[in-house]
Amino acid sequence: MTRQRKTILEIIKTSNEHMTAEEIYLKAKKVMPSIAMGTVYRNLGLMTEAGEIRRIPIPDSPDRYDKSVKPHEHMVCQECGEVHDVFIDGLLEYLRQSTGAEITGYDLNLRFICENCRRKDTIQGHR
């Protein structure tokens, strides 16, 4: 494993967030000032293909990256874009039974308004 890949993986594994490639790049740049954005994208692709991390496609936003490759779903705040993990027990089995197909994977992003954004809107009188 290259130093760059090790650094990128360490950034993802130690984060409690679902970061974008740019956010990962900015953190990596602090550790390795000569690292290029292309290196980050290439390594994210390789790590995703290898099953080391998970890419979270988000419509109308940059993809995010998740340290957990265990099957789970995500909730994306419509206001701030924050991403939260959510585990819906039995969903994969339900999908298999409902479709009669061998589901090999899926990406499910639930849209919601997080507690912080709801609080801000209430304070500002929007809700």
Complete domains list, the chain, with CATH = 3-124 (1.10.10.10)
- Comparing 71 with 10, the larger pLDDT belongs to 10
3-state per-residue secondary structure call for 51-104: CCCEEECCCCCCCEEECCCCCCEEEEECCCCCEEEECCCCHHHHHHHHHCCCCC
Query: pLDDT of 34-55, one tens digit each?
Result: 999 999 999 999 999 999 999 9
Torsion of CA 73, 75, 14, 48, to 10 degrees: 50
* In the predicted structure, residue 59 carries a pLDDT above the cut 90: no
pTM: 0.84
Given its phi and psi angles, is residue 75 left (phi above 0), alpha (psi -120 to 50 degrees) or beta? beta
The 10s digit of each residue's pLDDT in 9-38 is 999 999 999 999 999 999 999 999 999 999
Q: What is the pLDDT of residues 85-119, one digit of tens each?
A: 999 999 999 999 999 999 988 889 999 999 999 98
Report the distance separating Cα 107 and Cα 57, nearest Å.
Answer: 8
